[in-house]
Homo-oligomer: A and B are copies of this chain.
């Protein structure tokens, strides 16, 4: 029973017990009142609609119906929802005033009332209704009698109007299906912007009919056709999500130059970049032909993308090509342009004119904020929150991405607590400046992500970012967030996201079809190394390298490891026998795992790189068992751990003189990354050792 219980608490979604007014909802609604009773879902469930004749409304309501039926298997009688669904006896009434526009600041409020006999959802716009449908779906629970929704009264609206996800389709191309399933994921957590990073040194990912060599020579055939872009925009629009395109310029532009070397500041020919990093190629901002080209290109692209915002990147230009080009230097001298920064400002102003002509608001990374540039541009802060505040204080609307770089493999908590406008913020902003903080965007750069594993880098962590941007700032209980994250992560599977499903598949491939049990036990407690350290651990990665190894299968914020560390924390606070038993269960599992995994590794050469990591896990688990034994002895708890089995003379009663130091040394050694991954239970075991050694 113990094991069953442990496994459940550690590997399953939290039991959907109604233990807090956040229920299983993510993002949490701004106002929720739990009431008496339950609305029973049965096959008599029926929807009545009263709303605008917009296809989005009926298609979205039909999807609600089908998803509800898929989840419960109740065989609802209604099929496609249309304007004729007006049965006054229907037990679910949906009222929408008008068709929304998929633009910034559209009304997304909704209210949802569930009573034991009816569900009533009202919204100003169908987009608000879509947000409410996700809440409705997350409310579905079950008990001995059947499926139900708890009686609640919810009034909800977003805190910030810009809640986005950037997907970098340039570094590794992400085909339409990856984009579509992630749009469904965004919709499920009420996000409303998909930012597509469409060009970079490593690829130009969209068909240009004006300059077809851009995609023909710059993509190795991996690009979106304009038809596909329209399909993506339509799919996003159906879900109330804006699509903001980004064409990074003047730097990050090698892929443009393969077909159009005349745009570059150094002579070609150019080939598609296969390396990662900040590279020299940059557009020549001094030639009129550059702007003639960009004018025609931007005309084409601004026609294709309906959103008023248009992102020009503008980051990480190292200026080297400008310095070594005599003509550019002469231009700068002549125009009195002091440095590369100012030259980029000049470039930005020119692009701004073009975009303004085509009725777009220019957006860029925080580097584009140069003195004097018009207030109509918008800033995306990536280098620090300081740049966000700088921008809004100077009167520029801005969004936060610093702290939301999900490719860096940080834990969910750090992203979750990264509030664009924290209640206790040091930086005092004027009310006007505060208003200019439009929201934020999770940024999924794809150097190390492929269609196979990108979902596991985006989800479920982005759901916590979605909550930060939607819910009131006061919703910040980390434990409750993690509880709900488990639940929402499962819901995200049902729209086709592969963050869970592809994990065992990648492990199976690594074992060449052998049993993955032992491998999974290890990979469940390791994470890919953080930040960009992966580049500095002895492997040179190229765009075409295999991203199918342990570091690519391992997932950020490893749940089992996190819960073990929490278990140790609660044991430190209150060293109960129950907690000791649970800790011992895990430590024994890990101690014995290496022997099993070694057999797999013998026949699976790709796993050799983590063999010593697995051995270290066994070693430190043994140390942890000894620590628990000492602690228990001190506390008068009978020893659960088999401390005596280690090859030394330590008795469980008292540590040997060197035990503390040798143990800490072993733990220190275990922290060393191997296979570009790191063990995430070391600090938990360190805590145990320190506790054992403390008086």
How far in angstroms is the closest Cβ of chain B from A522?
16
| A428 touches B (CB below 8 Å) | no
List A224-278 residues whose CB lies under 8 Å from chain B.
225, 227, 231, 274
**A493: B residues at CB distance < 8 A:** 505, 508-509
Q: Which residue of B lies closest to A609 (CB)?
A: B73
Kindly report which residue of chain B lies nearest to residue A544, judged by CB atoms: B79
Shortest C-beta distance, A503 to chain B (Å), equals 9
Whether, in the assembled complex, A431 has its beta carbon less than 8 Å from a beta carbon of chain B, the answer is no
Asked whether, in the complex, the Cβ of A15 is within 8 Å of the Cβ of B514, the reply is yes
Q: Which residues of B sit under 8 angstroms from A225, Cβ to Cβ? A: 227, 231
Closest to A500 in B: B505
9-residue interface stretch from A64-72, A129-137, A193-201: A64-72
Binary contact track A45-63/B, C-beta < 8 Å → 1, others 0: 0000000000000010000
Cβ–Cβ contact B142 & A605, under 8 A? yes
Interface assignment of A533: CB less than 8 Å from any CB of chain B: no
Whether B59 pairs with A542 at a CB distance below 8 angstroms is no
Among B144, B274, B548, point to the contact of A603 (Cβ < 8 A). B144
Tell me the minimal C-beta distance from A380 to chain B in angstroms.
Answer: 30
Whether A548 contacts B508 by the Cβ 8 Å rule is no
- Near B by CB (< 8 A), chain A positions 4-41 give 4, 7-8, 11-13, 15-16
Given known pairs A80-B220, A177-B177, A220-B80, the reply for A546 and B508 (CB within 8 Å) is no
Question: With the chains together, A111 CA to B514 CA distance in Å?
Answer: 30
Tell me whether B75 and A539 are in contact (CB under 8 A): yes
Instruction: Give every chain B residue within 8 A of A509 (Cβ-Cβ).
Output: 70-71, 490, 493-494
Nearest CB in chain B: distance from A57 CB, A: 14
A328: interface (CB < 8 Å): no
Q: Please, how many angstroms separate the alpha-carbon atoms of A73 and B220 in the complex?
A: 22
Contacting residues of chain A (67-91) with chain B, CB-CB under 8 angstroms: 69-75, 79-80
Task: Verify A59–B221 contact, CB threshold 8 A.
Answer: yes
Q: Is A513 an interface residue (CB 8 A)?
A: yes
User: How far apart are A504's CB and chain B's nearest CB, in angstroms?
Assistant: 7
Minimal beta-carbon separation of A501 from chain B (angstroms)? 4
**Beta-carbon contact of A515 and B221 below 8 Å:** no
A515's partner among B11, B500, B514 (CB-CB below 8 A) is B11
Q: Is A456 an interface residue (CB 8 A)?
A: no
Which residues on the B side are within 8 Å of A220 (C-beta)? 80
Q: How far is the CA of A227 from the CA of B226 in the complex (A)?
A: 10
Distance (Å) between the CB of A547 and the closest chain B CB?
8
Asked whether any CB of chain B lies closer than 8 Å to the CB of A176, the reply is yes
Residues of B within 8 A of A502 (CB): 501
- Inter-chain CA distance A542–B77, complex, in Å, is 9
**Given A501-B505, A514-B12, A274 and B546 contact (CB-CB distance below 8 Å):** no
A487 adjacent to chain B (CB < 8 Å) = yes
Q: How far does the alpha carbon of A147 sit from the alpha carbon of B493 in the complex, in Å?
A: 34
Number of A residues, CB within 8 Å of B: 71
- Whether the pair A544, B512 counts as a contact (CB closer than 8 A) is no
Residue of B nearest to A12 (CB): B515
Complex interface: chain B residues within 8 A of A66 (CB): 544, 546
Which B-chain residue is minimally distant from A497 (CB atoms)?
Answer: B505
Q: Are A70 and B177 in contact (CB under 8 A)?
A: no
Complex alpha-carbon distance, A16 and B604, angstroms: 12
> Are B142 and A546 touching (Cβ within 8 A)?
no
Bound complex: CA A70 to CA B231 (Å): 30
Q: Which of chain B's residues have a CB closer than 8 A to the CB of A548?
A: 70-71, 73
Chain B nearest CB from A316 CB (Å) reads 24
Given A12-B513, A501-B498, is A72 in contact with B606 using a C-beta cutoff of 8 Å? yes
Tell whether, in the assembled complex, residue B227 and residue A73 are in contact, meaning their CB atoms are under 8 Å apart: no
Chain A 137-152, CB within 8 Å of chain B: the 1/0 string? Answer: 0000111111100000
Contact (Cβ within 8 A) A142 B505:
no
For the complex, what is the distance from the CA of A659 to the CA of B218, rounded to whole Å? 76
Q: A486-525 interface mask toward B, CB cutoff 8 Å, 1 = contact, 0 = none? A: 1100100110101011101100111011110100000000
Residues in chain B near residue A546, CB distance under 8 A: 66, 69-70, 72-75
Q: Specify which chain B residues have a CB less than 8 angstroms from the CB of A59 in the assembled complex.
A: 221
Question: In angstroms, how far is the closest chain B Cβ from the Cβ of A601?
Answer: 9
**Bound form: Cα–Cα A66–B451 in Å:** 14
Q: With a CB–CB cut-off of 8 A, which chain B residues contact A486?
A: 513
A649 on the interface (CB 8 Å rule)? no
How many Å from the CB of A15 to the closest CB on chain B? 7
Instruction: Check A602 for interface membership: any CB of B closer than 8 A.
Output: yes
In angstroms, Cα B517 to Cα A8, docked, is 10
Taken together as a complex, chains A and B put the C-alpha atoms of A71 and B605 apart, in Å, by 11
Is A545 part of the contact surface with B, judged by Cβ < 8 Å? yes
For the complex, give the distance between the alpha carbons of A543 and B78 in Å.
Answer: 11
Interface residue? A549 (CB, 8 A): yes
Within the complex, what minimum Cβ distance (angstroms) separates A551 from chain B?
10
Query: A493, A501, A513, A543 — which one has the most chain B CB atoms within 10 A of its CB?
Result: A513
The 3 closest A-B pairs by CB, nearest first: A13-B513, A177-B177, A501-B501
Having A7-B515, A143-B603, A494-B509, one finds 5 other A-B pairs with CB under 8 Å, namely A4-B515, A145-B605, A146-B605, A490-B509, A501-B502
Residue contacts A-B, CB under 8 angstroms, 30 given: A4-B515, A4-B596, A7-B517, A8-B514, A12-B514, A15-B514, A66-B546, A69-B545, A70-B546, A70-B547, A71-B548, A73-B549, A73-B606, A74-B546, A75-B546, A80-B220, A142-B512, A142-B603, A143-B603, A146-B605, A175-B177, A486-B513, A487-B513, A490-B508, A493-B505, A493-B509, A494-B509, A500-B508, A501-B502, A501-B505
